[in-house]
Structure 1
Amino acid sequence: MSQPSGNPYPHQPQQPYGEQPVPQQPGGYPPPAGQPYDAPLPPKKSKAGKIVLIALAVVLVLCLGGAAITWFTVKDEVGDVVDAANTRVVAPATLAGRKQVTDPELTKLSDQMVTEMKSTVQNETGTVGAFYGDVAKQDLVMVVAASGVLADPKKELDDAVAGLKTDLAVQEMTTTEPGPLGGEARCGDGKTEGMPLGVCVWADRGSVGLIVVFFKSAKEAKAEFVTMRGQIEQRS
């Protein structure tokens, strides 16, 4: 008579004494080397910290060029003065289809941008600092703008562009269509720590502002610039 084999389940291989079966991950594959069994995969590292550093650099440069917002001289057109005085910048709930960011870190930074501008820009009638989109999806836009009656919009634009070339490595900013609100606008490609930036800045008699589209090119930023500016700058 044959002796029992000791394996009550003859169709399953018997593990050698002292060895335990290797736990399997979903799909039947063993876990990666060095990965604890049944442990969740580590989350992807957030880019929020890097973006915060970039935004702080922009604020330090911009403060919208230390814009001096002053009344025109008597020879200026009355219509220009009225339009400028009736211009305001706002932070809409959505910008070109992107919702305003509610991340506490970026919300705090937005408040800091507004505070900085209020303390630096002279005679402003409104200020905006806000983020829109989703960092995780690499679709993020930053807005910094101020309204008031500008005596020399071109100078404010030139000052802002000069600062952006230094801090955001924007090599060249070319003239772009400003849209129905008029004034002047320029866009260029920036970069920091390998991250591409589409950077656009505008200035008119009633406002000066900056839009940075993270992870995108200047060409992509230009395609949305007029729409975004029209939602930020309002004229009554």
Structure 2
Amino acid sequence: MAEQDEAVRPEAGAAEDIPQYARPAVRLIPAAEPAFEDDEDEAATQAKRRRIMLTVMAVLGAGAIAAAFTLGPTLWRISQQTDAVLTMPDKIDTYVRDDSPAAKDTAGYLLTALAADIELDTTASAIYTDPVQGTPKSIMLFGGTTTMFSPERDLETVLRLMDDETGSVTGLKDYEPGDLGGVLKCGASDGPDGALAVCGWADHGSIALALFPGRTPAEAAPLMTTLRTATLTRP
């Protein structure tokens, strides 16, 4: 019995070592949980983490789907309209390209002004004249190819350029761009020889402007569509 008392006394002594003022606080400390309850807590924590991860993945997946619906059509149009080629053929309908030095200089000057406001990969320009209507009804066409993510905004930027080159462009209006898509706008301005129409087209792969002396925007818009069809090709 004495040996048993001696074996118990250290434990009792350990409790007695705790100061009297600290014993109420010690009694508030929760007893250690059994090992199997720790395992249950760990399993619950892992399950909670899995639920959080699944929720995050679902949110990200929904965002990706929404982005695909929003950007998908635009990316498709960009892929269809890039790698365009702009050329100036010898003849378009009844209009013949004027290859005189004066005509080339004028077309080159307009093209330089355009390229100063937008970076182009390739460029082309020409002046076309109808042999029957003569020089007063000539058409000055200039533009280039590049990849554009906001064709309408870029077109409006270069049309503002015409405010300096031809005078203020007024009454800008959207017109049907035709099978090639994109945007087509025409307005009116005053040139050295009188009123003229100013038109421009833009899509994700090309942009061009044209000046139509002696014509209204409504008269120039279908001519611009004809010019575009004759000069712009895509793979």
Q: TM-score range by the shorter chain?
A: 0.5 to 0.7
Displacement of 1:102: 2.0
Deviation at 1:108, TM superposition (A): 2.8
The structure where helix makes up a greater share of residues is 2
Instruction: Give the counterpart letter for 2:144 in structure 1.
Output: A
- Between the aligned partners of 1:149 and 1:234, the Cα distance in structure 2 is 15
Unaligned 5+ segments in structure 2 are: 1-70
Change in 2 beyond 3 A, CA 1:112/1:191: closer
Match of 1:156 among 146, 154, 157: 154
% identical equivalent positions: 20
Determine which of 123, 133, 142 is the counterpart of 1:127. 123
Write out per-residue CA displacement over residues 161-203 of structure 1, whole angstroms, 9 at most, x where no aligned residue. 3333454332211110111111111111211245121211111
**2: distance between equivalents of 1:197 and 1:215?**
5
1:34-183 to structure 2, matched below 5 A, reads 77-114=74-111, 121-122=118-119, 124-133=120-129, 136-165=134-163, 167-183=166-182
| Contact kept? 1:169, 1:192, Cα under 8 Å | no
Q: Quote the Cα distance in structure 1 between the aligned partners of 2:116 and 2:194.
A: 30
Gaps of 5+ in 1: 1-73
Normalization by structure 2: what TM-score? 0.60
Identify if the C-alpha distance between structure 1 residues 112 and 164 changes in structure 2 by more than 3 Å, giving closer, same or farther: closer
TM value normalised by structure 1? 0.60
CA displacement 1:67-106 (0-9 Å, x = unmatched): xxxxxxx977553333232212111111232000022211
What does 1:207-218 align with in structure 2 at a 5 Å threshold?
207-218=206-217
SS in 2 for 1:178: coil
CA contact (8 A) 2:107 2:141 kept: no
Task: Call closer, same or farther: CA 1:221–1:97 in 2, change over 3 Å.
Answer: same
CA RMSD of aligned residues (A): 2.6
Q: For residues 137 and 145 of structure 1, do their structure 2 counterparts lie closer, same or farther at Cα, with a shift above 3 Å needed?
A: closer
- Counterparts of 1:194 and 1:107 in 2: how far apart (Å)? 19
SS of the residue 1:138 aligns to: strand
